[in-house]
Amino acid sequence: MTTLPTLLLVDDEPHSLAAMRMALEDAFDCLEAPGAEEAWRLMEENDVQAVFCDQRMPGRTGVELLTAMRERWPETVRIIITGYTETSDMIGAINDAGIYQFIAKPWHPDQLLMAARNAARLFQLTRDHERMSIEMRYLARSADSKLDKRRQALREGLGFQSVLRGPSSPLNAVVAAARQYASFDVPVLIQGEAGTGKAAMARAIHYASLRSDRPFFDLDCTGMPDDLLEAQLFGAKRGALPGLVTTKVGLLQKAERGTLFLSGVDSLSPRMQLALLRVATERSFQPLGSHETLTAGMRLLVGSHRDLRALVAEGAFRADLYFALAVTEVALPPLRARPGDIALLAGNLLMEAAAAHGKSVHGFSDEALAFLENYDWPGNLRELSNEVTRMLIFAQGKVLGPELISRHILQAQPAEDGADRSADRVLEGSGTLKDRVELIEMRILRETLTRLRWNKSRAAAELGLSRVGLRAKLDRYGVKPPKGAVVAEED
């Protein structure tokens, strides 16, 4: 059953109350009060949406009553009914009581009913607005809280927690130093071989800094022509370059109050070194085709594949630019110096690749990890990522075994001190022809058997040997399956 809106009718004349009730009682629940005291009591006991009050009453006037009601029940709509139309009374009522509408006597029933319906609608709209305002305030606080949590998760996901390493990794000391540098708004020079994770380290420094809420941009300068590099960094006016029909905003402007990481600064030409020196020391630059000098307000991080100090000594890199960029330095170790991190890195790369390609796997076998840990990874993380992806593509089971590993990695002789690269230099090294050929033969035997999961029948057939001949060579070189290796059934 629908509840009717409640009105309070206040008038000291009984016939006026009766007339108002007759006009409104079909659409509203009407309460009646002959004076201010009774009206106040009814307001305290009921949820009244609108008050129709006569102005001229003994004791307290309608304006005085509605003024008091406005303080106590501000959302209730207030309507004055009066036979007097003095301008001073009307202005006073509007200012003091917040009157919604005047109804002059004598009124028509339809006029009164229309006023009541409008008042009830206004009351409901006011209630809805208040409810929505409360909900919006709550949602705003909730959104701010969620935003703070997402920012924190972003910092953690892209910060130093994303730089994977083991408990005894040589990278731990590097990360500890980088954490210290992150909170100081100074340039950082990140040096390391290609693929060692310089961009990830720069991103981690940014998200651990006071600029973490601002944008992060990175650009690899290696091999980029000067005019294109200038346009990317400084921006360019329309027509400054062939085919440029609109003004281009450079990264120095896009990264305003954020962080810009420039990788490959060791490959910069003398012209670009001078331009970058101005940015690093004067914090200023000019877009291509413009005479306007702009201010760079970003934090500058740079990466180098080669030792910049050595390049300065050779005269290949400006000394003043080096000292401007190398306020603090971070040196990333190559992957061959982090054998204890290989299992963790390979496992994470495998899970990422499996999710990206929709292929379910559980991980690597111990034997496969032994081969991966033994290799020196000249291409560092990029080469490891490529190898893991290739293994995933050819995997038939949930656990990836050594038979999926590339041949040049399998041919690395297992050793406690790391990968044995001697066979790679066998053609240039010393020793008799017999010794050098035997070394290569031993490596080929181990690679073939590992790839074929130590199935000697298949290995002998592939190598063009009899099973007896293969067994003799294995005994001669001491080639045996690693402990725990999965051996396929013989044909």
Kindly report the CATH number assigned to the domain that includes residue 20.
3.40.50.2300
Cite the beta strand spans of 192-307 per DSSP E.
216-220, 259-263, 284-285, 294-295, 299-304
Residues 36 and 110 reside in one and the same domain: yes
Domain count, the chain: 3
15 is a domain residue: yes
Residues 377 and 275 reside in one and the same domain: no
| Tokens matching residue 410 | 């399998």
312 is a domain residue: yes
Boundary of a domain, candidates 82, 108, 128? 128
150 is a domain residue: no
Q: Give the separation between CA 260 and CA 255, rounded to whole angstroms.
A: 6
Helix residue ranges, H only, 46-108: 62-72, 87-97
Boundary of a domain, candidates 107, 128, 149? 128
Q: How far, CA to CA in Å, does 180 sit from each of 188, 190, 200, 358, 484? A: 11, 14, 17, 39, 44
> Coil, helix or strand for 440?
helix
Q: Which residues 6+ apart lie within 8 Å of 180 measured at CB?
A: none
Residues 188 and 231 reside in one and the same domain: yes
145 is a domain residue: no
Which of 378, 389, 397, 374 shows the shortest CA–CA distance to 447?
374
- Rounded to 5 degrees, what are φ and ψ at 333? -75, 150
Residues 111 and 198 reside in one and the same domain: no
> Using CA of residue 134, residue 137, residue 142, residue 143, what is the dihedral sign?
positive
Show the domain range for 473.
337-477
Question: Which CATH number characterizes residue 244's domain?
Answer: 3.40.50.300
Residues 70 and 182 reside in one and the same domain: no
Residues 320 and 406 reside in one and the same domain: no
133 is a domain residue: no
Which of 174, 157, 264 shows the shortest CA–CA distance to 212?
157
Question: Which CATH number characterizes residue 348's domain?
Answer: 1.10.8.60
Residues 379 and 288 reside in one and the same domain: no
Q: How far, CA to CA in Å, does 335 sit from each of 29, 194, 203, 377, 419? A: 82, 11, 19, 6, 12
Q: Give the separation between CA 206 and CA 218, rounded to whole angstroms.
A: 11
483 is a domain residue: no
421 is a domain residue: yes
Q: Give the separation between CA 228 and CA 248, rounded to whole angstroms.
A: 11
How many residues can be counted in the chain? Answer: 491
Residues 171 and 319 reside in one and the same domain: yes
List the chain residues with pLDDT less than 50.
153, 156-157, 415-425, 427-428
Residues 191 and 326 reside in one and the same domain: yes
Residues 262 and 319 reside in one and the same domain: yes
Residues 193 and 327 reside in one and the same domain: yes
**pLDDT given at position 374:** 85
Which helix or strand (DSSP H or E) is residue 29 part of? strand 29-33
Residues 327 and 362 reside in one and the same domain: no
144 is a domain residue: no
Boundary of a domain, candidates 111, 128, 145? 128
Q: Which residues 6+ apart lie within 8 Å of 467 measured at CB?
A: 456, 457, 460
